[in-house]
């Protein structure tokens, strides 16, 4: 397919915008018809009380579809088990996104960090709409690129849509946390987040190879190079990136609504007073991510009371919960905790450790990944190590 007409002009304009620091990807972005890969998508309903979405579906060559698909934005294509391709006009959906076409600037930035060049064999983890795969295939050749996704429909749709404009890379239905289609790759890039980094990725990455991925439930983007002895070493990148976690089923586990109902007002098993400021995990993202690294899988919720005070809830799948209420004027805050773990105590411990180390920027952390040992992130002074 030749990049001409309205979509060709829009694709070139997008390439001019997103490849300023990665000129090697300009031609691939200019030549890739993203509007064919994302015919339908979900848009978040503004001010909806929950995660609710409207279907968006425009004719193929309509100005609205061209404008949306060649803008630098993420287009959510699947909410829960509901793919936009299967929805009727006027449909709505509720739930969390489970697949999308990632904003092009992030794809290009990650691909640039991957430093893939013609001749490299590349594994693209998380086919999704097929957009990243299309860029790789254009620049590196179809037979040098393999993509995997756990969702059979996404693989089928991406294969057909790529074929419609002459791209025929290998795409397989694979749980990427398990065995991979081939034993060796020079480069691996994931547009799903993982924790830990699967040992199959590390075993498949050739010496001198490079891995780009994100850590689940954080926005930590890591780049690591494979060295001797099967150990990959690298760093956290300065710009954050958030991806959906690698899943094995049609949807993610349900949220902890029953536990939240208990935690909203119960006194719990342990109550204490706190005079320190309540952490704001929605503004202090680095603290939130450090807490996630230290205490994985804690669901966080927050609210503002009528008197303006904030409340923070921490919820664990083992039944542990904490509710921290901001202090009233002249009084201390109140912390309620229950279950086998004291979740708020853990958050305070992480906050104290980070403060003692000068609240270092997270991109100053180093990463080490090994198929036997898992992986670790280490603070710049080398005194604080967090397991992956």
Regarding whether 186 and 50 lie in a shared domain, the answer is yes
pLDDT band at 306 (very low <50, low <70, confident <90, very high): confident
pLDDT band at 302 (very low <50, low <70, confident <90, very high): very high
The predicted pLDDT at position 1 comes to 54
pLDDT band at 327 (very low <50, low <70, confident <90, very high): confident
Regarding whether 167 and 300 lie in a shared domain, the answer is no
| pLDDT reading at 329 higher than 70 | no
Average pLDDT estimate for 324-341: 86
Q: Is residue 60 in some structural domain?
A: yes
pLDDT band at 253 (very low <50, low <70, confident <90, very high): confident
H or E segment to which residue 236 belongs:
strand 232-236
Calculate what percentage of the chain has a pLDDT beyond 90.
Answer: 85
Q: Is residue 342 in some structural domain?
A: yes
Q: Is residue 107 in some structural domain?
A: yes
Classify residue 88 by its DSSP letter: P
Residue 243 sits at φ, ψ, to 5 deg, of -130, 155
Q: Is residue 385 in some structural domain?
A: no
The string of DSSP letters for 301-335 reads EEEE-TTS-EEEEEE-TTS-EEEEEPPPTTS-EEE
> Residue 344's domain spans which residues?
257-356
pLDDT band at 274 (very low <50, low <70, confident <90, very high): confident
Regarding whether 159 and 27 lie in a shared domain, the answer is yes
pLDDT band at 234 (very low <50, low <70, confident <90, very high): very high
Regarding whether 299 and 208 lie in a shared domain, the answer is no
Q: Is residue 88 in some structural domain?
A: no
| pLDDT reading at 105 higher than 90 | yes
Indicate the SS3 state at residue 1.
coil
The predicted pLDDT at position 276 comes to 77
pLDDT band at 189 (very low <50, low <70, confident <90, very high): very high
Average pLDDT estimate for 344-371: 96
Q: In terms of pLDDT, which residue wins out, 184 or 307?
A: 184
With both helix axes pointing from N to C terminus, report the angle between 152-164 and 131-140 in degrees, rounded to the nearest 10.
50
Q: Is residue 194 in some structural domain?
A: yes
| pLDDT reading at 354 higher than 60 | yes
Q: Is residue 371 in some structural domain?
A: no
With both helix axes pointing from N to C terminus, report the angle between 5-18 and 104-114 in degrees, rounded to the nearest 10.
60
The predicted pLDDT at position 28 comes to 98
Exposure string of 290-307, with b = 16+ CB inside 10 Å and e = fewer, is bbbbbbeebbbbeeeeee
Least confident of 102-106, 307-311, 347-351: 307-311
Average pLDDT estimate for 363-375: 91
Cα dihedral 174, 190, 212, 29 in deg (nearest 10): 120
Q: In terms of pLDDT, which residue wins out, 328 or 187?
A: 187
The predicted pLDDT at position 241 comes to 94
pLDDT band at 371 (very low <50, low <70, confident <90, very high): confident
Average pLDDT estimate for 296-322: 93
Residue at which a domain ends, from 207, 236, 265: 236
**CA–CA gap between residue 279 and residue 347 (Å, rounded):** 9
- In DSSP terms, 222 is beta-bridged to 213, 236
The predicted pLDDT at position 50 comes to 72
Two structure tokens written together for 186: 């020079």
| pLDDT reading at 304 higher than 60 | yes
Average pLDDT estimate for 228-239: 94
| pLDDT reading at 330 higher than 60 | no
Regarding whether 146 and 18 lie in a shared domain, the answer is yes
**CA–CA gap between residue 13 and residue 15 (Å, rounded):** 5
| pLDDT reading at 125 higher than 90 | yes
Helices (H), 115-250: 131-140, 152-164, 199-204
193: domain CATH number is: 3.40.50.150
Calculate what percentage of the chain has a pLDDT beyond 70.
Answer: 98
Regarding whether 279 and 212 lie in a shared domain, the answer is no
pLDDT band at 346 (very low <50, low <70, confident <90, very high): very high
Regarding whether 228 and 294 lie in a shared domain, the answer is no
pLDDT band at 305 (very low <50, low <70, confident <90, very high): confident
Regarding whether 227 and 104 lie in a shared domain, the answer is yes
Q: What domain count does the chain have?
A: 2
343: domain CATH number is: 3.30.160.690
Average pLDDT estimate for 218-224: 97
| pLDDT reading at 62 higher than 90 | yes
Regarding whether 284 and 211 lie in a shared domain, the answer is no
The mean predicted confidence, pLDDT, of the chain is: 94
Q: Is residue 379 in some structural domain?
A: no
Regarding whether 227 and 286 lie in a shared domain, the answer is no
Regarding whether 318 and 215 lie in a shared domain, the answer is no
| pLDDT reading at 378 higher than 90 | yes
**CA–CA gap between residue 329 and residue 309 (Å, rounded):** 10
| pLDDT reading at 2 higher than 60 | no
Regarding whether 282 and 167 lie in a shared domain, the answer is no
- In DSSP terms, 221 is beta-bridged to 214
User: Residue 325 burial by CB count (10 A; 0-12/13-18/19+): exposed, middle or buried?
Assistant: middle
């Amino acid at each position: 397919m030749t990049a001409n007409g309205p979509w060709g002009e829009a694709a070139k304009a997008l390439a001019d915008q997103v490849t300023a620091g990665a000129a090697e990807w300009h031609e691939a972005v200019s030549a890739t018809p993203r509007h064919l890969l994302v015919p339908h998508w979900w848009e978040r309903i503004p001010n909806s009380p929950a995660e609710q979405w409207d279907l968006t579906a425009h004719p193929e060559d309509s100005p609205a579809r061209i404008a949306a698909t060649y803008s630098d934005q993420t287009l959510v294509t699947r909410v829960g088990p509901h793919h936009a391709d299967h929805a009727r006009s006027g449909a709505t959906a509720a739930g969390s996104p489970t697949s999308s076409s990632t904003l092009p600037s992030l794809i290009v930035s990650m691909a640039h960090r991957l430093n893939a060049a013609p001749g490299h064999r590349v594994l693209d983890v998380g086919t999704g709409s097929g957009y990243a795969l299309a860029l790789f295939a254009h620049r590196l050749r179809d037979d040098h690129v393999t993509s995997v996704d756990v969702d059979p429909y996404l693989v089928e749709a991406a294969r057909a849509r790529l074929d419609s404009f002459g791209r025929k890379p290998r795409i397989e239905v694979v749980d990427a946390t398990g065995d991979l289609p081939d034993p060796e790759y020079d480069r691996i890039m994931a547009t799903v987040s993982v924790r830990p980094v699967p040992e199959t990725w590390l075993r498949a990455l050739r010496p001198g190879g490079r891995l780009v991925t994100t850590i689940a439930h954080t926005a930590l983007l890591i780049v690591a190079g494979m060295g001797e002895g099967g150990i990959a070493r690298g760093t956290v990148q300065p710009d954050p990136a958030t991806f959906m976690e690698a899943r094995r089923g049609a949807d993610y586990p349900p949220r902890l609504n029953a536990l939240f109902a208990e935690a909203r007002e119960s006194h719990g098993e342990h109550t204490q007073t706190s005079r320190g400021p309540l952490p704001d995990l929605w503004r202090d993202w680095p603290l939130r991510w450090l807490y996630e690294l230290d205490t994985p899988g804690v669901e966080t919720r927050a609210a503002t009371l009528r008197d303006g005070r904030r409340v923070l809830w921490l919820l664990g799948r083992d039944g542990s919960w904490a509710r921290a209420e901001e202090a009233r004027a002249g009084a201390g805050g109140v912390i309620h905790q229950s279950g086998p773990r004291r979740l708020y105590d853990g958050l305070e411990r992480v906050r104290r450790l980070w403060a003692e180390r000068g609240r270092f920027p997270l991109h100053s952390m180093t990463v080490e990944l090994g198929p036997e040992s898992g992986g670790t992130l280490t603070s710049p002074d080398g005194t604080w190590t967090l397991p992956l």
